[in-house]
Amino acid sequence: MSAAASPLQKMTAGELTRRVLSKEPLFILDVRNDSDAADWQIEGEGIELINIPYFDLLEGVDAALERLPKDGDVLVVCAKEGSSKFVGGQLVEAGRSSVYYLEGGMKAWSEHLEPVLIGRLKDGGSLYQFVRIGKGCLSYMIISEGEAAVIDAVRMTDVFHRFAAEQGAVIKHTLDTHLHADHISGGRKLAEQTGGTYWLPPKDAEEVTFDYEKLEEGNVITVGNTSIEIQPVYSPGHTIGSTSFIVDNRYLLTGDILFVESIGRPDLAGKAEDWVGDLYTTLYDRYKSLPHELIVLPAHFGKITELGEGGAVFARLGDLYKHNPGLQISAEADFRRMVSENLPEHPNSYQEIRQTNMGRIDPDEERQGQMEIGPNRCAVHDK
Catalytic residues: 78
Q: Provide the 3-class DSSP secondary structure of residue 53.
A: coil
Do residues 179 and 358 make contact, with C-beta atoms less than 8 angstroms apart?
Answer: yes
Strand partners, 380: 263
Do residues 42 and 27 make contact, with C-beta atoms less than 8 angstroms apart?
Answer: no
Q: Provide the 3-class DSSP secondary structure of residue 71.
A: coil
Cα 145 → chain centroid: 28
Do residues 30 and 37 make contact, with C-beta atoms less than 8 angstroms apart?
Answer: yes
Do residues 298 and 254 make contact, with C-beta atoms less than 8 angstroms apart?
Answer: yes
Q: Provide the 3-class DSSP secondary structure of residue 76.
A: strand
Q: Within a 10 A sphere around the Cβ of 212, how many other Cβ atoms? A: 19
How far apart, in whole angstroms, are the C-alpha atoms of residue 253 and residue 141?
A: 11
Residue 10 has phi, psi (to 5 degrees) of -100, 140
- Reported as type and span, the H/E element at residue 316 is strand 315-316
Cα 56 → chain centroid: 32
How far apart, in whole angstroms, are the C-alpha atoms of residue 327 and residue 342?
A: 14
35, burial (CB in 10 Å: exposed 0-12, middle 13-18, buried 19+): exposed
How far apart, in whole angstroms, are the C-alpha atoms of residue 20 and residue 37?
A: 18
| DSSP secondary structure code for residue 285 in this structure | I
